[in-house]
Structure 1
Amino acid sequence: MTEPADPAAALAAFVSASPSPYHAVAEGVRLLTAAGFTEHVETDPWPDGPGGRYLVRDGTLLAWYVPEGGAAGRPLRVYAAHTDSPTLKIKPKPDTGAAGWRQVAVEVYGGALWNSWLDRDLGVAGRLVRYDGTSVLVDVHRPLLRVPQLAIHLDRQVNQGLTLDPQHHLLPVWGLGTPAEGDLLEFLAGEAGVDPADVAAHDLVVHDVTPPARLGEDEELLAAPRLDNLASVHAGIGALLDASAAGDTVPVFVGFDHEEVGSASATGAQGPLLENVLTALAGGFDARSRVFAVSRCLSVDVTHAAHPNYLERHDPDHRALPNQGPALKVNAIQRYATDAPGAAAWRRACRKVDVPTQVFVSRNTVPCGSTVGPLLSTRLGIRTVDVGIPVLSMHSARELCGVEDLGLMRAAAAAFLTDPD
Structure 2
Amino acid sequence: MQLDFFNQGLMSFLKRSPTPFHAVSNMESALLQAGFERLDESVEWVLKPQGRYFVARNGSSLIAFSVGDNPSDGIRMVGGHTDSPCLKVKPTPEIKQKGFFQLGVEVYGGALLGPWFDRDLSIAGRVTFLNSKDQLSSGLIDFERPIALIPSLAIHLDRDVNNGRPINAQKELPVILTQLGENEDISFREILKSALRDTYPDIDVKKVLDYELCLYDVQPPSYIGLNNEFMVSARMDNLLSCYIGLSSLLKAVGAEGGSQEGGQIAGNQPACMLVCSDHEEVGSQSAEGAQGPFLMNVLERLYPDSQTRAQVINASMMISADNAHGVHPNFADKHDNNHGPLINEGPVIKINANQRYATNSETSSIYRHLSEQLDLPYQSFVVRSDMACGSTIGPITASNIGVRTLDIGVPQLAMHSIREMIGSKDAFTLYKVLAHFNQKRNLKVDRV
TM, length-normalised to structure 1: 0.95
Match of 2:114 in 1: 115
After TM superposition, list the pairs within 5 Å mapping 1:288-299 onto structure 2: 288-299=309-320
Residue from 344, 366, 380 that aligns with 2:401: 380
Show CA shifts across 1:298-353 (max 9, x none). 00000101011111111111011121111100011111100001101111221222
- State how far apart, in whole Å, the 2-side matches of 1:97 and 1:340 are: 57
Describe how 1:204-353 pairs up with structure 2 within 5 A.
204-244=213-253, 245=265, 247-353=268-374
Deviation at 1:183, TM superposition (A): 4.4
Structure 1 CA distance, aligned partners of 2:136 and 2:46? Answer: 26
May I ask how many residue pairs the two structures share in their alignment?
418
Residue pair 2:193, 2:205 contacting (<8 A) in 1 also: yes
Which has the greater radius of gyration? Answer: 2
For residue 8 of structure 2, what is the aligned residue in structure 1?
9
Aligned residue for 2:195? 188
Q: Distance in 2 between matches of 1:337 and 1:154?
A: 48
Q: What's the CA shift for 1:72? A: 3.9
In structure 2, distance between residues paired with 1:190 and 1:176 = 23
Q: 1:54 to 1:283 in 2, by over 3 A?
A: same
Contact (CA 8 Å) 1:73, 1:282: kept in 2 or not? no
**Residues 88-97 or 42-51, more deviating:** 42-51
Contact persistence 1:189–1:195 (CA under 8 A): no
Corresponding position: 1:398 with 2:440: no
Aligned equivalents of 2:219, 2:329: Cα separation in 1: 25
Say whether 1:146 aligns with 2:149: yes
Q: Which moved more, 1:7-16 or 1:133-142?
A: 133-142
Check 1:358–1:4 CA distance in 2 against 1; reply closer, same or farther (3 A cut).
Answer: closer
Give the distance between the partners of 1:281 and 1:249, measured in 2 at CA.
14
Q: Deviations over 1:161-197 (max 9, x none)?
A: 1321111101110111155333443343344336553
| Separation of aligned partners in 1, 2:311 and 2:163 | 59
Asked whether the 8 Å contact 1:11–1:231 carries over to 2, the reply is: yes
Q: How far did 1:282 drift?
A: 3.5
One-letter code aligned to 2:292: G
- The one-letter code matched in structure 2 to 1:378 is S
CA contact (8 A) 1:85 1:110 kept: yes
Q: Which amino acid aligns with 1:312?
A: D
Letter in 1 for 2:365: A
Q: Which moved more, 1:133-142 or 1:120-129?
A: 133-142
Alignment of 1:19 with 2:18, yes or no, is yes
What is the aligned partner in structure 2 of residue 89 from structure 1?
88
Amino acid at match of 1:394: M
The Cα shift of 1:4 comes to: 6.8
Give the conservation status (yes or no) of the 8 Å contact 1:269–1:376: yes
Which runs of 5 or more structure 1 residues have no equivalent in the other structure? Answer: none
Counterpart Cα distance in 1 of 2:416 and 2:275: 21
Contact 1:130 1:200 in 2 (8 A): yes
Q: 1:154 and 1:196, CA in 2 relative to 1: closer, same or farther beyond 3 A?
A: farther
- The secondary structure found in structure 2 opposite 1:235 is helix
Could you tell me whether the CA contact under 8 Å between 2:122 and 2:218 is conserved in 1? yes
Matches within 5 A, 1:13-92: 13-49=12-48, 50-57=50-57, 58-67=59-68, 69=69, 72-92=71-91
CA distance in 2 between counterparts of 1:219 and 1:45 reads: 49
Question: 2:165 aligns to what?
Answer: 162
Pair 1:197-2:200 in alignment: no
TM-score between the two structures when normalised by the length of structure 2: 0.90
Q: Secondary structure at the match of 1:107?
A: strand
CA contact (8 A) 1:336 1:373 kept: yes
Cα distance between partner residues in 2 of 1:99 and 1:217: 45
Alpha carbons of structure 1 residues 179 and 258: separation in structure 2 relative to 1, 3 Å: farther
Superposition RMSD in Å: 1.6
Secondary structure of 1:267's aligned partner: coil
Distance 2:217 2:351 in 1: 32
Q: Which 4+ runs in 1 deviate beyond 4 A?
A: 2-5
**Residues 244-288 of structure 1: CA distance to partner in whole angstroms, max 9, x if unpaired?**
247342110011011111100001001111112123333532321
Structure 1 residues 5 and 210: CA distance shift in structure 2, 3 A: closer
Tell me if the contact between 1:95 and 1:184 (Cα under 8 Å) persists in the aligned partners. Answer: no
- Alignment gaps of 5+ in structure 2: 254-264, 444-448
- The CA distance in 2 between the partners of 1:165 and 1:195, in whole Å, is 40
The residue identity in structure 2 corresponding to 1:219 is N
d(CA) in 2 for partners of 1:5, 1:90:
36
